[in-house]
Every structure is written in structure tokens, then in C-alpha cells.
Amino acid sequence: MHIESEVKLDFKDVLIRPKRSTLGSRREVDIRRQFQFKWSGHDFDGTPVIGANMDGVGTIAMAEAFAAQGEGLTVALTKHYDVNALAAFFQTPASAAAWYSLGITKDDQEKLEAVIAKTNAANINKLCIDVANGYSENFLDFVKAMRKKYPDKTIMAGNVVTYEMVEELLLSGADVVKVGIGPGSVCTTRKMTGVGYPQLSAIIECADAAHGLGGLVCADGGCTVPGDLAKAFGAGADFVMLGGMLAGHDQSECDVIEENGRKSLVFYGMSSETAMEKHAGGVATYRASEGKEVRVPYRGDVNATLQGILGGIRSACTYVGARRLKELSKRTTFIRVTQQINNVFGES
């Protein structure tokens, strides 16, 4: 047993300190980023916000809306579409805004091969290899195998929260590492398992490790307001993935529920009982649910929400004098707003 006594922080624990700025308007801020991915060699030029590969968020309709928005946003599609639906979508221009998501089972790999066989393989150039626990040896072996098989595809893989696993995944062939265990609004991993890492500190430490190797990180989970995205980018995240903030829209491909004059949609974690009943026939006897189901208010078209999110990021940049999103981490000073605990016994 080992105890780390160093303070670790979440988004709620800090604020960004304002600095003098010559910017006169949010309009002057460029929130697009340009990257060249380490292994695939492909270029990215767009706003580095990604819709999460969750039911109600990672939908084809969401990807089509993101593509039409024109900001270079992308969506990681949920992996539960069938082969024909995916093949049809990846033959459309909107697929440029999508990541193809998969797990690490043989079925996942065979499904990808089937989709590629039905469409132009070049159209599927971004893969999101997604598991709840990115610390397993099987996961690393799968990432290595996928890099060997698809050397020209950009691979995002996760989730992890510590620098040593970020380095391991990057050296195994990942271009982008997803960072976050348990911070999501409908994730209960921390409650069910006691495992996790405060998200802001995870981003800071993992981004430092990734950038030293020429890789990138995607902060996945924990953002509930636009200011949290600004904090994530300020901490060094290259991409930010959103779930709950994008739930409840017309593009969710969910039924709208109306009760007592109020409209809502169901949103749930992908390790929840609801998701496992829908996609796997129930919770396996050897595991427990690590997610929950909630009702989120109906929010209409996603474009209004995106405008608020992107406007918040631009505004944060004006407060610290960052003309480009790339400069935000260099201009960010975090101020602690929570009481520091001096030792594990709670003495302050």
C-alpha cells in the first residue's frame, strides 16, 4: 500500500487568473488548432472539441450537424450502429467529421473490416479505440496490432489517467490518448470501484508526458460548463471530449419524453445497466454497472449549445490575452479556490 500526499485537482478546484490583454473582442480569437498526428501523419485543422461515443451524443445526426457547423468539430460515433448504417454514412462528406469507434474484441475488429469492405477505406481515417480500463495488457496489444494493420489511420485510444500509461500507449501506436477515469456526469466508476484521478491534474500530468513524445491527449469527461473546457485547454489538453453537455438535443436520436408540460430525453453512461440491457442483453454476472441513467432537459438543435460552448472558450482566451487557442495553456495561471488538506488525516 502506498499513499500519495500531493494535492490533485478537479475543474471545480481552480479558476483561471485574468491577465492584461490587447484583444478588443472575442471575434479576434482563433480557436482552431493545427496538428500533425505522430503515427498516421495526417493533419488536423479544426476546433478540437469531440462529441463522445455515447448513445445520445455520438450519433450520425450529431456528426452531420458538426460537419455543417463549419468549425472543424468532430464526433466519435457510438460503436453500436450496424455495418450497413456505418458503411452508408462513411460514403458521405459528413463522415470527415467522424471518428469510427470500436472496442478490442474480435467482433469489433471484424465489424470494422466489414465496414471498410463496403466503403472506401480512405474515408475511415480516424479510429477511436475505447475501453473503460486502459491499463490492461490486452488493450496495449490491441493498439499495437491496429497500428501495424492500419499504419495510415489516426488512432485515439484510452482511457487512462497517469503519465506512464500515456507514454506506453503513444509508443504502442496511439496518436491521441484519452484521459479520464470516472469524471463523467453519468459515470459511477469512482463510486463503484474507488478508482480514479482528479481530472485537471490528470490532464496536466498526461499532457506533459504526451507532448514530450510528440503525441496528443484528449480530456474525456468532467466538463459541465464552457469554463471547464477552457480549464482543460489551459491545462494542456489538445482535444476535449464532451458527453453530457451535448445530450438532450434533436441530434441525439432519442425519443423526446413529455411529462407535465416539460420535455426531456434519457441519457445514460455506456457502462450503465440501461446501456448493457440495450446492447448486451443485461449486466454480466461477473461485473457491476458503472454508470447511471438520468433525464436531461430537451434542448432543441445542438447548434445553439455549440455557440455557447465555443463562445465561452473564446471569452476565456480574451481574459488572458490568448489570440489563438494554442496560446491558452501558456497564458493560464490557475488559482486554487478549495481548502488545501495538509495530510491524509484531514488536518488543515
- Return d(Cα 179, Cα 205) in angstroms, integer: 10
- Catalytic residue check, 187: yes
297 beta partners: 264
58, 81 in Cβ contact below 8 A? no
- Return d(Cα 329, Cα 212) in angstroms, integer: 15
SS (H, E, C) the chain: CCCCCCCCCCHHHEEECCCCCCCCCHHHCECCEEEECCCCCCEEEECCEEECCCCCCCCHHHHHHHHHHCCCCEEECCCCCCHHHHHHHCCCHHHHHEEEEECCCHHHHHHHHHHHHHCCHHHCCEEEEECCCCCCHHHHHHHHHHHHHCCCCEEEEEEECCHHHHHHHHHHCCCEEEECCCCCCCECHHHHHCCCCCHHHHHHHHHHHHHHCCCEEEEECCCCCHHHHHHHHHCCCCEEEECHHHCCEHHHCCCCEEECCEEEEEEECCCEHHHHHHHHCCCCCCCCCCECEEEEECCECHHHHHHHHHHHHHHHHHHHCCCEHHHHHHHCCEEECCCCCCCCCCCC
CA angle 194–179–158, rounded 5-degree value: 95
- Among the listed residues 187, 218, 254, 317, the single catalytic one is 187
- Active site (catalytic) residues: 187
